[in-house]
Amino acid sequence: MNKTITALATPPGIGGIAVIRLSGPEAILIADKCFFGRNALGDAATHTIHYGSIIFRGKIIDNVTASVFKNPHSYTGEDVVEISCHGGMVVAGEIIDTLIECGAVPADPGEFTRRAFLNGRMDLTQVEAVADIIHSLSVPGCLTAARQLTGEFTARMKILGEKLVKIASLLELELDFSEEDLEFTDRNEISNQIADTISFCTELADSYKAAEILRSGFFVAIAGYPNSGKSTLFNTLLNRQRAIVSEIPGTTRDYLEEIIYINGIAIKLTDTAGLRESDNIVEIEGIKLVESVLKLSNLILIINDITISPEQSNKLYKKIALNYPDSKIYLLQNKIDKVDENNIGRLSSGIEHELKISAKKQIGINNLRNMLENEALQNIERTRDILINQRHAILLKQAVSELQSALYAISSNMQNELIAIDIRKAGKTLGEITGDTWNDDVLNNIFSRFCIGK
């Protein structure tokens, strides 16, 4: 039998109230050992709230409310009692200790949600949506995860899986009746349906990058030669003096990361060390780190000091464009406050994506913010209402390769049973996304992202 688990469900610390969760076959029995209200919780109807005191060994710990949810209509599918007590560092801890003395055990991270999955209250994509909501950094990310919680993604995967099973069954049926006069399913029709499924799955798998932007933010790196004004721009976009700025080239050594929000979209900004040939060991290390930052960036801003020359960074721009073909790159002509206004229009690098700014005097910064927002939005648009994660993307790609091998089998006139095997494999792979089939490793991996009490 499952043990009855307990944990704090709200963040620890000072707050109005704290909520303690208790779930398992003995949840109500254990709560009744220390909760004293007008009636015992054992007599309470499901989905009701009761006022009372937590009293243990003659000592009153707090006045609380207890909510009762009886199985199977609870978050975990088990009997659940949620105790709301006064917030703070002490009371909730005392109540949890009491519940443990009365027979509960401390919950592991994500154990409530894990039980919800094992009891069929949620499928795996919904479990993952819960984690995404908790960790969400941006409004659109949170809303997309919330939509996933309704089970829409699972429903779509189920329809796809059923379609594949139907095709496989048709092929196998032909095999059984091949001696008789059965009308053969049109191979072209089957190939078309498989090809449709392949393009749907590929598109979904490709939206993984966009989903990651919603999860963790749009990654923007600020790079360029020393002294071009990278740290000044970083501070300007952050609205505070976060990075050290100086007229000495090579000021920034480590990279600095901060998140800014533009209309609810999280943008992770990274200021990096100036790129140049150097024999200073610390600086060389800093320059190596820049490469690791650029690799992860969705967008790279190359800052050029226009007072030196508008074309000074062109070589750097081209090199970065070549090395990081997946990232969009903008050239920012900085320090335009130092240029004669009549000349600004004529000065250009000739590079298509170019903006003129003064990081120090805050000229052109609104333009830059709008550009960042538009670029982030363009990338996010590809999420198609579903937050694909790495696990989904790997399975989708696996299904695609299984379906491609089915297509190959059809085009080479292989036997039906061989074609059907590949199609069934793909169906099973899609089933793993929703958790029709799963193993402990998969679950442990998913729940490692959860906190205790969820």
Ligand X SMILES: Nc1nc2c(ncn2[C@@H]2O[C@H](COP(=O)(O)OP(=O)(O)OP(=O)(O)O)[C@@H](O)[C@H]2O)c(=O)[nH]1
Q: Which residues bind Mg ion (CB under 5 A)?
A: 230-231, 251-252
Selected from 11, 42, 72, 249, the binder of ligand X by CB under 6 A is: 249
Residue 230 lies near ligand X (rule: CB under 6 A): yes
Q: How many residues bind ligand X (CB under 6 A)?
A: 23
Separation CA 321–CA 450 (nearest Å): 38
Stretch that binds ligand X, among 84-92, 258-266, 358-366, 384-392 (CB under 6 A): 358-366
Of residues 283 and 432, the one with the C-beta less far from ligand X: 283
Closest-by-Cβ residue to ligand X is: 274
Residue 241 lies near ligand X (rule: CB under 6 A): no
Contact between 423 and 400 under an 8 Å Cβ cutoff? The reply is no
Selected from 205, 266, 359, 421, the binder of ligand X by CB under 6 A is: 359
Of residues 43 and 254, the one with the C-beta less far from ligand X: 254
CB burial string 32-64: b at 16+ within 10 A, e below: bbbbebeeebeebeeeeebebebebeeeebbeb
- How many residues are given for the chain? 454
Among Mg ion, ligand X, none, residue 227 binds (CB under 5-8 Å by kind):
ligand X
Separation CA 110–CA 319 (nearest Å): 45
Residue 212: closest CA among 73, 8, 379? 379
Contact between 427 and 168 under an 8 Å Cβ cutoff? The reply is yes
Among ligand X, Mg ion, none, residue 335 binds (CB under 5-8 Å by kind):
ligand X
Selected from 84, 358, 379, 429, the binder of ligand X by CB under 6 A is: 358
Identify residue 281 by its one-letter amino acid code: I
Residue 313 lies near ligand X (rule: CB under 6 A): no
Residue 231 lies near ligand X (rule: CB under 6 A): yes
Shortest Cβ distance from residue 322 to ligand X (Å)?
22
Residue 445 lies near ligand X (rule: CB under 6 A): no
Of residues 197 and 252, the one with the C-beta less far from ligand X: 252
Residue 337 lies near ligand X (rule: CB under 6 A): yes
> Strand ranges (DSSP E) for 140-231?
218-224
Residue 226 lies near ligand X (rule: CB under 6 A): yes
Selected from 77, 110, 229, 427, the binder of ligand X by CB under 6 A is: 229
Shortest Cβ distance from residue 374 to ligand X (Å)?
23
Selected from 245, 329, 372, 387, the binder of ligand X by CB under 6 A is: 245
Among Mg ion, ligand X, none, residue 150 binds (CB under 5-8 Å by kind):
none
Shortest Cβ distance from residue 221 to Mg ion (Å)?
13
Residue 293 lies near ligand X (rule: CB under 6 A): no
Among ligand X, Mg ion, none, residue 298 binds (CB under 5-8 Å by kind):
none
Looking at residues 258 to 277 of the shown chain, list those that interact with ligand X (rule: CB under 6 A): 274
Stretch that binds ligand X, among 203-211, 343-351, 355-363, 380-388 (CB under 6 A): 355-363
Separation CA 228–CA 230 (nearest Å): 6
Three-class SS state of 59: strand
Residue 250 lies near ligand X (rule: CB under 6 A): yes
Among ligand X, Mg ion, none, residue 360 binds (CB under 5-8 Å by kind):
ligand X
Residue 86: closest CA among 55, 61, 56, 107? 61
Contact between 49 and 26 under an 8 Å Cβ cutoff? The reply is no
Residue 246 lies near ligand X (rule: CB under 6 A): yes
Contact between 453 and 8 under an 8 Å Cβ cutoff? The reply is yes
Contact between 263 and 138 under an 8 Å Cβ cutoff? The reply is no
Contact between 223 and 320 under an 8 Å Cβ cutoff? The reply is yes
Task: State which H helix or E strand residue 115 sits in.
Answer: helix 111-118
One-character DSSP codes across 277-344: ----HHHHHHHHHHHHHHHH-SEEEEEEETTT-TTTTHHHHHHHHHH-TTSEEEEEEE-GGGS-HHHH
Selected from 156, 335, 356, 425, the binder of ligand X by CB under 6 A is: 335
Residues found near ligand X in the complex (CB under 6 A): 226-232, 245-247, 249-252, 274, 334-335, 337-338, 358-361
